[in-house]
Structure formats: C-alpha cells, structure tokens
Amino acid sequence: MASSSSIAVRELPLFPLPEVVLFPGRPLPLHIFEFRYRIMMNTILESDRRFGVLMWDPVQGQAAPIGCCAEIVQYQRLPDDRMKIRTLGQQRFRVIEYTREKPYRVGLVEWIEDAPTDDDLRPLTHEVDQLLRDVVRLSGKLTSQEIELPENIPDSPIELSYWIASNLYGVASEQQTLLEMQDTKARLEREAEILTSTRNHLAARTVLKDTFPDPN
C-alpha cells in the first residue's frame, strides 16, 4: 500500500446525486437549477472545470464514500442562470474528509485506481462482451425490435468493465459496488454473473414466448 505522502490528494467540490453513479470515461448530462449548485458550477468554470459526483443514498441520508470526478466538457446557460452541462467521468476518488458544507460541499479526496495485475484478462473480457451481446439479442427478440450496440464499445478490460457498469439500469447500489472495486478482474467477474443471470432470464422468457405466442 502506498504511503500517505505519495497519495495524490486535493480539494474537490462535491455534487451528491440520488441513485446516480458516474464511471470513468462515461458521459453525464446535468440540468443545474438549485442556487447552491449554480454557484458551484460558475466557480468550477473559472477553475479546472472539475467536480466530484457522489451517489446520494436517500434511505441512509448520506453520500457514498467513493465517487468519480466529472469534467465539464460543454455547457449552456439558460434563463434564471440555470445551466445545462455535459460532463465526462475522469478519475475515481475516495473522500477523506469534508472541508466545507456551505453553500455546497467540498471535500479532501484521494484518487484511487485498480490494482495492477499480471493476469491475462482477455478471455474474461471476451466472455463478458459475448454475454452482453447475448443479452441484447434476446432483449431484441422479446420486444420484436432491432437493438444495436454502439460500434465504439471499449475492448480493454478496465474500460469495458466501466462501460457495462454504467449501462446497468435501476441498480444504483450494485453500480456503486462495482465503482468501489479496485480489481478489474473481480469487476468483470461480477458483471459476468449479472449478465449470465439476465441472459438466462431472457432466454426462459423467449422460450415461453415461442411456445405460447401472443394471439394478437
């Protein structure tokens, strides 16, 4: 483990969002209307355009301890000083402590990365990619729609793991768990489990649909 003196630490404005988990390399559009966050964004635009996104748990009433830095890549000012911004996920971070609460939260954070590995992750990456395509194919068959995956799906293990995690819907707590993992292999293995379960469920529904077609 790195010593505290070698860990990159900085202050970062923090933006808690209910049930939203941002991943490195993934886009996040936002509509800024709360007064305190309008102040935050105007301040950020005068500096390095970066702030931290943390998932807010409304049940626990607190923000997650690990989040992802967002960089504003485009913005549009609207009436009443509201803003539409497009951001892109950068490094992940862990909140060490909150240094300010008003008018918005600022925290002292340290950057975190996946641990390096000597394992060949290509077979696992290929398996996860294939499972993803199976899920999309079966979803299309069930809904009688042509669903096409983007052509630019990452092929590197870590980037693919972020891409898949960011495209899981309605499971923010699972996404947060994947964000907090610092082992690429473990993240991909968990995603393989999720996709396998989803594929099996869809396959069973497809069999039912083929066996008992809708009379309409």
User: At a CB cut-off of 8 Å and minimum separation 6, what does 216 contact?
Assistant: none
Q: In order of start, what are the domains of the chain with their CATH numbers? A: 7-112 (2.30.130.40), 122-211 (no CATH)
Distance CA 52, CA 67 (A): 7
pTM above 0.95, yes or no: no
**Average confidence (pLDDT) per 10 residues, the chain, 216 residues:** 57 95 97 94 95 93 96 93 95 97 96 94 96 91 82 92 92 95 97 95 79 58
Structure confidence at residue 158 (pLDDT): 96
**Whole-Å CA distances, 71 to 82, 84, 121, 146:** 18, 14, 29, 34
Query: How far is CA 182 from its chain centroid?
Result: 14
Structure confidence at residue 209 (pLDDT): 63
DSSP single-letter state for residue 81:
G
